[in-house]
Amino acid sequence: MHFATKTLRYNRINWVTVDGLEEHWEKGRVDAVVKGDASVEVKTSKITALTLNFDAGHSPFHLQKKVTVTLDGTPFTTSTTRLDRSFTAASRRRTASGRSRKQQPPPRLGCWPSATV
């Protein structure tokens, strides 16, 4: 799945939602692919926060395996798919000082490099 946007007004495609951009009106890009029954690989450019959300009945992941999300080369182990076969993981990039940028929305579930579900 490949997605690019310059604004948070148009921030969602399929199961990927961009929740933060480094700079509005500069193209942010997300490339995401599901790999197997327990992992997804995501590469970003100029994105500071994102959410992966598979609605009920649509998660491609195994119910009993923890899902590994590899975000810009860093792997994170998240929870398993819910019993209704939904899955959600969210992450936000921190600045060099360790703080989230003020103009970004509040984090939903965690911050990379320590994303959780």
Separation between Cα atoms, residue 26 and residue 88, nearest integer Å: 27
Separation between Cα atoms, residue 85 and residue 55, nearest integer Å: 8
Please provide the average confidence, as pLDDT, over all residues in the chain: 85
Strand order through the sheet with 87-92: 12-13, 16-21, 47-54, 87-92
Separation between Cα atoms, residue 67 and residue 71, nearest integer Å: 12
Residue 104's pLDDT band (cuts 50, 70, 90): very low
pLDDT of 105 > 60? The answer is no
- Structural domain boundaries in the chain: 2-92
The residue ranking higher by pLDDT, 98 or 20, is 20
Q: What is the pLDDT of residues 67-85, one digit of tens each?
A: 999 999 999 999 899 999 9
The residue ranking higher by pLDDT, 94 or 42, is 42
Which of 21-30, 59-68, 76-85, 99-108 has the weakest average pLDDT? 99-108
Q: How many CA atoms lie within 13 A of 17 on its CB side?
A: 14
